Structure 1
Amino acid sequence: CDFCKLLITVNRALSAGGIESQPVPAPFLIFIKLAQLAVLDTNRRLSTMAATPTLMRTDSARGDFSPLKHFVVAKKKISDVFEQLLSYVKETSEFVEVISGNEALGTIATKDQKVEIQTYADKLAVIKEVLARRHMKVAFFGRTSNGKSTVINAMLRDRVLPSGIGHTTNCFLSVEGTDEEKAYLKTEGSEEEKSIKTVNQLAHALHMDESLDAGCLVRVFWPKTKCALLRDDLVLVDSPGTDVTTQLDSWIDKFCLDADVFVLVANSESTLMNTEKHFFHKVNERLSKPNIFILNNRWDASANEPEYMEDVRKQHTDRCVNFLVEELKVVDRDQAPNRIFFVSAKEVLNSRMQRAQGMPETGGALAEGFKERLKEFQSFERRFEECISQSAVKTKFEQHTIRAKQIIEKVKTIMDAINIEAAEKRVAALEDREYQRDRLEFVRNQLNLLTEEIKKKIKAISDDVESKVSIAMGEEIDRLHVIVDEFRGDFHPSQQVLKLYKAHLLGHVEQGMGKNLAFRCSNAINVSVQSSQQYMMESMVPLLPSTAQSQVHMLVPKKTFDLSYDLNCAAICSDFQENIEFQFSLGLKALVHRYLGSVNAQRALKLVDPNLQNSRAVVPVTPSSEPPSIAAPPNNEKALMTQEDLMIAMATNLASITSRTSMGIIVVGGVVWKTVGWRVIALSASLYGLVYLYERLTWTTKAKERTLKRQFVEFATEKLQLVVSFTSGNCSRQVQQEMATTFARLCEQVDQTQRDLEANIRQLTTNIDELETVQNCSKTLRHKATELEKQLEDFTKQYLQPQD
């Protein structure tokens, strides 16, 4: 259409610059301006459609395939590994703390190992925090007004830092991304976030703060949503001109030691200055082969003299290569050209800002060769990104990776030591448990055998004691009259004195027989008991532990065994009734006793005269005229007759006596009278009377005492014969009790030994289970360490070792 043709004509005129130089009316001028805006918009659209595919391919590295992602991915991966490693070391620390506090297991893990692992955990926690703060850092240096800030802005594709005429950087500026929507800055020594909305506000804030000098750092936080480059943990540091201060050493120490890449922004309109070289010489002294790029900025000025462009470029390139290779020796001569670029940061910044605003990159007044310079700037960015990502990964993560490997190796060594120690202790515990079980089985079997043997021995000794005491007591009973005859006491027939006399006599007899029995039996019995106790002790000692063996003698009484015979004569002879009235030996009672025996005579006399000796009978078991052996037959075997036999015997004897008395008197008297005469009869009667008179006169207190002693011996002999078996059995039981008590004490010690062995076996079983758990845990933890070590090795191969 005509309007389009008009617009094309106007556009050509504008491009030639002819219209504005001609005088035109005001209305037409307005029309021209509107037409110019329309043409510019049309050109913008057409340029955008034509240039977008090429630019997208050129800048594709800054998208998802940007080399900077290499650092981000490596950082995430190493952070995950350190997260796992820290968790692992904490788990190991808890494990070591638990087993080191278990006294039952012994020293499987030492306190030094516990402290060492805890130290590793603390170090890993610090490293983890450091890794979270790690980022790639590039520092830009050069003389004042060489365009350092402009280069940074061109890389950020926006005017982030003040640049251009009237703006010189008077302090260090770091630009890093923030997740917040608003930009802000922090000055050195302050955490206050100062809000900034535009570059002018930033410039104003920097120039108005009088406390900032060349050695101060201002951190600028720019929203990541506004700048894609800052999303990849990249920090760009702008610096004052190297020609404004002599404090280069402090600059390097403060801002350069952790930088991954250094960019020297030079002015292509001049050569490298000594101040710039001097600074990088100092950097090279502090750092081992720093990564240095040289940007010859303002290369667009060479478009004015195209005939000298290649010569000037070669001259700058040779000097820069010589500086990098010969002077600094940081790269090889083949690699040096890849570190030198000729750019125009201002052109790149303007074109990128125009593109961001929807305008064509090549719009406006651009010097010839812009596209080549833009491509070279993009090439610099790509090489820079590749270099800084590789360098940052190596410088930021390599030492931490090495340290992590060392920590894992140390922890593995500790786990191996714990595993070996636990295995050795477990084997020892198994052997000890087996020994304890064998020991327990031996003690049980031996105790059963000894129990049967000692029971038999105790019974044999008890029977021997019973036999000895029985024999000795029988002999002492036979000698009872000796003990009784030895008694001396005040005797009188009165009842009170007799009672006291008999009491003393009983005490004397019991004491005398006790002494005699002790003399005859106690020593032998005591020797036998002590010998048996010693045998028990010697038999039991092997069943006791060594600690108890030294104290086993305390279980055996040291004092002599005191055997108590305890005859208790007072109770045995409590029913003794003496008969110390005068008894004529040729009287009727004596004759009846003589012919009928003691027991039957007593009964016969009672039948003849029931009141006879009813108050004071003759000694009930032995008559005074019978010997002890007849009166008291052993074992209380008395010839007792039945009632019928007694009546027959009594009738026969009485008839005999009566017949002899009556008939004898008549017959014998007649015979004697006729034979010898009355003189013989008178003589016999006189003799009978003399005997009676003699016996009556000799019946004194001494005779009564002898009669009482004789009657007591007869009575006590029979009674003591009855308690011989009881007394000997009592002595046997005393010996049995003494020996059984001693054996029981020894058995209690053996039982305690068995309980201790059982407790030890249970504890050893528990320890074995716990040691097995410790072994399994240490193996598991070691395997985890191996897995982490493998992850670190994979990380090293993937990110830290040079790729072929």
Structure 2
Amino acid sequence: MRDNWMMSSLINRSISMVSNGVHNQSNSHLNAMNGQNITSTDSPLKLFVLAKKTINEIFLDINAFVTECHDFVNDVNEEVISKDQLSRVDSFTAKVTGIRDVLTRDHMKVAFFGRTSNGKSSVINAVLHNKILPSGLGHTTNCFLQVEGTDEDEPYIVVDDKPNTRLNIESVQDLANALTAGEMGDSTLVRVFWPKSKCSLLSDDVVLVDSPGIDVSANLDEWIDKHCLDADVFVLVSNSESTLMRTEKNFFHKVNEKLSKPNVFILNNRWDASASEPENLELVRKQHMTRDIDFLTVELNVVDTEEAKDRVFFVSAKEVLQARTQRPPVNSSAFPDGFQIRYFEFEDFERKFEQCLSKSALKTKFAQHTKRAQRLTSELSHILDAIQQKSNQLMTSKCEQRNELMEKLQFIEQQMHLLTDEVKHQICHLVEQVEVKVSSALTEEIRRLSLLVNDFDRPFSSDCLVLGVYKKELHSHVERGLGSNLRARLSTALTCNVESAQHEMIERVMNLLPPQEQQKQFNYSLTPRQNFEILYRINCESLCSDFQEDLEFKFSFGLIQMIRRFTKSNDYKKDFNKSLPSTAPQTPSNSEVVQTSSVLNTDALALIDKLSLVSPQSHTTVGLLGVSAFLVRTIGWRLIAITGSVYGLLYIYERLTWTNRAKESTFKRQYVNHSTRKLKLIVDLTSANCSHQVQQELSSTFARLCHLVDEVIVDIQSELKLLDQQIQRLDEYSSISRKLKNRANFLANDLNKFTDDYLNI
């Protein structure tokens, strides 16, 4: 009666599952018994496949986003991003790459453990609807066997120590069977690749792992580390003919220590043996259920009591495998009593473990990666936000600097225009002063030239060779003396005026330079020349090169000398009379005297000229004869004799006193007269030359100052250009970081949606 009730309950549950669209065919249990695969249209495993595809697409976008951020931050200036932020962004690339690699390999992993000969391989074969793994009496599986799907049409196997070598599927019997001679190590992994087209479970990214018996090996810790840490569901296959053993419990205690609350299902296999003892079936079932629930809830503390009831099942994997693989289909009556109940319970196990597997795999495989991605995008968003804020702050600061520099540049240019006009006016005024002062001082020195010439004390001789050397030395003496006197009169005052003007220019220009530039240029450039001196270029040798001295003896009272003096005096008087108004009328007597005198003068001069033509060698003799002839006619011989004696004595006296000193004095007097005339001709030229020197000095000083200002202007313009580039770059940083931050927000929304759709169900 109990069996009939259970049978009815399972049949009703199957009908309900069909009505909800879980199975494709109405009589799924019959199809199962006929060995046909069951394909669920809304299998919970499909959720994992869809979630895996979705999260991989999201991480593909995250990887592109992180790569773009990495390239961006490496291009960002150091003043915008810190080294810590840069290193964090660099680490994100490796993190995302690692997560993507894990996600592409991630699958739902179910690990089957139990004691030897409890039917682990048979359970896996029954789940796969194919006898893939070796199974039978005794210790069969001697290593770990991992069954996973492949897109290829033919199955094959790969041993973990030879990953590039494919073996035929039939060799799995020899490699993994403990009964064969070539026994492998119990920790070795043999990967069995089965076509997904032959098994819907494998097409849903499910991997099943078979293990050796936990009672035949001491390498449990190594097993757990190598094969269990990434498992989503553990299936403990126990023998329902006995009870849970300490060996089984110890293994799962170790698993529970390394994994936080693992998902454990307990399959009491070989439940078909209960058909031979129907009177004790319920008692044995209750005993197993109580001990299994107590193990899950109390000892492992992985689930509560209600959930633990859905984790314990009583099945016969051998019956299910036989029903699913035999051709032609066998009749259910060929199996022991209660077969249908055990078969439906195996299906119930498959359904619940698939639900648990999908839910657990979603959380274990994707939840942590999703949280890491959320933290990563959040950190990147904060870094990008910091870059944007820093860029905006720096851009504001740079714009203020640029405005200040522009104002400074305009101020300097405006002040330089004003200063240039003022300096030009000042230089012109100072040049005029210099020209007037030099002209006045040189004129005064020309008046005092005789003193300078008389100070020349060198041996004098009328010899041509000696006289030539004497003249050269006199030229040099006069040139040095004039230069020295002019320097004594003018240089100090003129130099002070020039330096004062230079210092004023420098001070005005320094006020236009930056403080640091002022100190620098003051030490090197903004100092007036200390060796400036006005040069008074008076080249007496070339100026007086046409000077010809006249050192022949000339009697002071000679007729020609007297006449020359007289004519010069009359010329002077005539010039003077012409300049004065005539106030007294002339009398006839005066008129006659003047006419007589004019006639006499004319006759005497004519006679003298004739005599001089006859004998031009002696002007004194000619003059004496002329005067004697004139006096004989007008005065008596006595008076003539007395006058002649006195005249002769004077002549003898002057002739005796015509010494070398007298010649030197005459030479100097002639030189003074000649030099005075020549020097007067160059007064304007010399003053203009001196003023030009001053103008050139001041102009060169101002030109140097202008060059310094131009350099400052060029530096400011270069700095403005650099600021413009920096502002443009900072604006680009702000714009790019804003766009990337928006992308980070979009990715965060995708991750949140993924969490809501797949992880919070």
Q: Give the TM-score, by structure 2 length.
A: 0.84
Deviation at residue 184 of structure 1 after TM alignment: 2.6
Which residue of 412, 432, 435 maps to 1:466? 435
Cα distance in 2 between the residues matched to 1:320 and 1:571? 136
State how 1:667-686 maps to structure 2 within 5 Å.
679-686=638-645
Cα distance in 2 between the residues matched to 1:681 and 1:223? 172
8 A Cα contact 1:196 1:202, kept in partner: no
Cα distance in 2 between the residues matched to 1:49 and 1:741? 109
Q: Against the structure 1 CA distance between its residues 756 and 470, is the aligned structure 2 distance closer, same or farther, given a 3 Å change threshold?
A: same
Cα distance in 2 between the residues matched to 1:194 and 1:553? 85
Deviation at residue 479 of structure 1 after TM alignment: 0.4
Aligned to 2:141: 169
Aligned to 2:532: 561
Aligned to 1:792: 751
Cα distance in 1 between the residues matched to 2:301 and 2:434? 115
The answer to whether 1:594 aligns with 2:553 is: no
Aligned to 1:647: none
8 A Cα contact 2:140 2:178, kept in partner: no
Deviation at residue 204 of structure 1 after TM alignment: 7.5
Cα distance in 2 between the residues matched to 1:246 and 1:188? 21
Question: What SS does the aligned partner of 2:132 have?
Answer: coil
Aligned to 1:83: 60
Please give the per-residue CA displacement for 1:259-296, whole angstroms capped at 9, x wherever unaligned. 11111223333333333333333333332221111222
State how 1:511-522 maps to structure 2 within 5 Å.
511-522=480-491
Aligned to 1:579: 550
Deviation at residue 223 of structure 1 after TM alignment: 2.2
8 A Cα contact 1:99 1:108, kept in partner: yes
Aligned to 1:454: 423
State how 1:775-786 maps to structure 2 within 5 Å.
775-786=734-745
Deviation at residue 346 of structure 1 after TM alignment: 1.9
Please give the per-residue CA displacement for 1:161-210, whole angstroms capped at 9, x wherever unaligned. 12234672233222112233333333343325352344884578664354
Question: What SS does the aligned partner of 1:581 have?
Answer: coil
Higher mean C-alpha deviation, range 449-458 or range 78-87? 78-87
Cα distance in 2 between the residues matched to 1:289 and 1:664? 163
Deviation at residue 516 of structure 1 after TM alignment: 0.7
Which residue of 335, 338, 341 maps to 1:366? 335
Which residue of 9, 20, 39 maps to 1:62? 39
Aligned to 1:407: 376
Cα distance in 2 between the residues matched to 1:458 and 1:732? 10
What amino acid is aligned across from residue 81 of structure 1 in structure 2?
Answer: I
The answer to whether 1:722 aligns with 2:689 is: no
Cα distance in 1 between the residues matched to 2:242 and 2:562? 178
Cα distance in 1 between the residues matched to 2:759 and 2:264? 20
Aligned to 2:320: 348
Q: Against the structure 1 CA distance between its residues 689 and 49, is the aligned structure 2 distance closer, same or farther, given a 3 Å change threshold?
A: closer
The answer to whether 1:122 aligns with 2:94 is: yes
Deviation at residue 308 of structure 1 after TM alignment: 4.7
State how 1:102-113 maps to structure 2 within 5 Å.
106-113=78-85
Which residue of 282, 291, 295 maps to 2:263? 291
Cα distance in 2 between the residues matched to 1:49 and 1:483? 144
State how 1:278-677 maps to structure 2 within 5 Å.
278-306=250-278, 308-354=280-326, 357=327, 359-360=328-329, 362=331, 365-550=334-519, 551-555=521-525, 556-597=527-568, 655-658=599-602
What amino acid is aligned across from residue 72 of structure 2 in structure 1?
Answer: F
Cα distance in 2 between the residues matched to 1:368 and 1:652? 195
What amino acid is aligned across from residue 658 of structure 2 in structure 1?
Answer: W
Q: Against the structure 1 CA distance between its residues 445 and 299, is the aligned structure 2 distance closer, same or farther, given a 3 Å change threshold?
A: same
Cα distance in 1 between the residues matched to 2:175 and 2:335? 27
User: Size of the alignment, in residue pairs?
Assistant: 698
Which residue of 108, 128, 146 maps to 1:136? 108
8 A Cα contact 1:541 1:549, kept in partner: yes
Please give the per-residue CA displacement for 1:687-707, whole angstroms capped at 9, x wherever unaligned. 333333333333333222222
Question: What SS does the aligned partner of 1:296 have?
Answer: strand
Q: Against the structure 1 CA distance between its residues 686 and 243, is the aligned structure 2 distance closer, same or farther, given a 3 Å change threshold?
A: closer
8 A Cα contact 2:398 2:723, kept in partner: yes
Aligned to 1:251: 223
Question: What SS does the aligned partner of 1:208 have?
Answer: coil
Aligned to 1:699: 658
Question: What SS does the aligned partner of 2:76 have?
Answer: helix
Aligned to 2:590: none
Identity %: 47
Deviation at residue 304 of structure 1 after TM alignment: 4.3
Q: Against the structure 1 CA distance between its residues 654 and 285, is the aligned structure 2 distance closer, same or farther, given a 3 Å change threshold?
A: same
8 A Cα contact 2:543 2:678, kept in partner: yes
8 A Cα contact 2:177 2:183, kept in partner: no
Cα distance in 2 between the residues matched to 1:126 and 1:409? 18
What amino acid is aligned across from residue 579 of structure 1 in structure 2?
Answer: D
Please give the per-residue CA displacement for 1:44-96, whole angstroms capped at 9, x wherever unaligned. xxxx9995797599999734422111111222222222222222222222222
8 A Cα contact 1:183 1:195, kept in partner: no
Aligned to 1:185: 157
Q: Against the structure 1 CA distance between its residues 337 and 440, is the aligned structure 2 distance closer, same or farther, given a 3 Å change threshold?
A: same
Unaligned runs of 5+ in 2: 1-23, 577-594, 608-625
Deviation at residue 768 of structure 1 after TM alignment: 0.7
Which residue of 702, 715, 719 maps to 1:760? 719
Aligned to 1:95: 72
Aligned to 2:189: 217
What amino acid is aligned across from residue 569 of structure 1 in structure 2?
Answer: C
Please give the per-residue CA displacement for 1:204-261, whole angstroms capped at 9, x wherever unaligned. 8664354524343322222222222111221111222333344434433333222111
8 A Cα contact 1:146 1:266, kept in partner: yes
Please give the per-residue CA displacement for 1:371-430, whole angstroms capped at 9, x wherever unaligned. 333222222111111100110111122222222222223323322332232222222211
Cα distance in 1 between the residues matched to 2:468 and 2:629? 49
Q: Against the structure 1 CA distance between its residues 250 and 498, is the aligned structure 2 distance closer, same or farther, given a 3 Å change threshold?
A: closer
Deviation at residue 119 of structure 1 after TM alignment: 1.9
8 A Cα contact 1:90 1:118, kept in partner: no
Supply the RMSD in Å over aligned alpha carbons: 3.4
Please give the per-residue CA displacement for 1:584-620, whole angstroms capped at 9, x wherever unaligned. 334342244234439x99xxxxxxxxxxxxxxxxxxx
Please give the per-residue CA displacement for 1:125-174, whole angstroms capped at 9, x wherever unaligned. 12221222211111112232222211111110010112234672233222
Please give the per-residue CA displacement for 1:637-680, whole angstroms capped at 9, x wherever unaligned. xxxxxxxxxxxxxx99863414689999999878755xxxx543
Q: Against the structure 1 CA distance between its residues 209 and 305, is the aligned structure 2 distance closer, same or farther, given a 3 Å change threshold?
A: closer
Higher mean C-alpha deviation, range 561-570 or range 198-207? 198-207
Cα distance in 1 between the residues matched to 2:529 and 2:228? 93
What amino acid is aligned across from residue 243 of structure 2 in structure 1?
Answer: T
Q: Against the structure 1 CA distance between its residues 683 and 197, is the aligned structure 2 distance closer, same or farther, given a 3 Å change threshold?
A: closer
Q: Against the structure 1 CA distance between its residues 362 and 591, is the aligned structure 2 distance closer, same or farther, given a 3 Å change threshold?
A: farther
Cα distance in 1 between the residues matched to 2:116 and 2:177? 20
Aligned to 2:118: 146
Aligned to 2:698: 739
Q: Against the structure 1 CA distance between its residues 292 and 554, is the aligned structure 2 distance closer, same or farther, given a 3 Å change threshold?
A: closer
What amino acid is aligned across from residue 477 of structure 2 in structure 1?
Answer: H
Cα distance in 1 between the residues matched to 2:369 and 2:181? 39
The answer to whether 1:713 aligns with 2:683 is: no
Deviation at residue 751 of structure 1 after TM alignment: 0.8
Higher mean C-alpha deviation, range 557-566 or range 443-452? 557-566
8 A Cα contact 1:61 1:67, kept in partner: no
Please give the per-residue CA displacement for 1:553-601, whole angstroms capped at 9, x wherever unaligned. 5333453322110111111111112222233334342244234439x99
8 A Cα contact 1:352 1:361, kept in partner: no
Q: Give the TM-score, by structure 1 length.
A: 0.80
Higher mean C-alpha deviation, range 472-481 or range 166-175? 166-175
